[in-house]
Structure 1
Amino acid sequence: MKRSTLVNWLIVLAVVALAGLPLLFVEGEFGGADGIAAEQIAADHPDYQPWFAPLFEPSAEVASGLFALQAAIGAGFIGYYFGVARTKRRLTAAGTDDATPDTPPADDTR
């Protein structure tokens, strides 16, 4: 097994461990930051009234779907960026001029 393959498998194992171990060993329920913040504000200032009301308050299922959509769009942008960067690096290493934007030659008299 090549060294890079071993390192990749160790990284995958570390990511799985970091994601899975808290689920196995942490007692209690995981709560969202919004709920914790609302509880803290209610405890510190019981007469607090929000300045604005939301225009659209989706159900839990719709909110979960919107969150998943946001994550998918973000992952798409990140994947696109890494794909472009990798292709640009490969084209530059191969010595082709396709890695740079099209620019007219310096002696072009248009």
Structure 2
Amino acid sequence: MKNKWVLILAALVAFSPLLFLGDASFLGADSLAEEEIQKRNPDYDPWADPLFEAPSGEVESLLFALQAALGAGFIGYFIGLTKGRKESSERNES
């Protein structure tokens, strides 16, 4: 029952900006920083180029989602492995 309320609360926190700020534009930090730099110094020339430029916003979102999924999978695996080793050592001690 406790997990149900935690999930409901998490969903409310995640979707509340969409409900209250429906017409807002949710830009990433990179694009906001680039806009601010161009506004303050229009002659700025970046000293480094990206290694890979995504062909579209959808591909960029897909790559970001894959990166997040791989990171979450790695963290979950590590936590599960650590917990399993701890439980195994506790069983072997008793």
1: CA distance between counterparts of 2:83 and 2:29? 36
In structure 2, the residue matched to 1:8 is 3
2: CA distance between counterparts of 1:55 and 1:70? 16
2: CA distance between counterparts of 1:22 and 1:85? 36
Normalised to the residue count of structure 1, the TM-score between the two structures is 0.72
Please say if 1:82 is aligned against 2:79: yes
Return the offset for 1:62: 2.5
Identical counterparts, % of pairs = 44
**After superposition, what is the alpha-carbon deviation per residue over 1:48-78, rounded to whole angstroms, capped at 9, x for unaligned?**
1111222321212332222122111101101
1: CA distance between counterparts of 2:51 and 2:81? 38
Structure 2 vs 1, CA of residues 55 and 92 (structure 1 numbering), >3 Å: closer, same or farther?
A: closer
In structure 1, the residue matched to 2:27 is 31
Return the offset for 1:19: 0.5
Normalised to the residue count of structure 2, the TM-score between the two structures is 0.83
Matches within 5 A, 1:34-45: 34-45=30-41
Could you tell which deviates more after superposition, 64-73 or 37-46?
A: 64-73
**Bigger Cα Rg:** 1
2: CA distance between counterparts of 1:78 and 1:45? 41
Q: Which runs of 5+ in 1 are unaligned?
A: 1-5, 98-110
Q: Which runs of 5+ in 2 are unaligned?
A: none
- Structure with the bigger percentage of helix: 2
Please say if 1:92 is aligned against 2:92: no
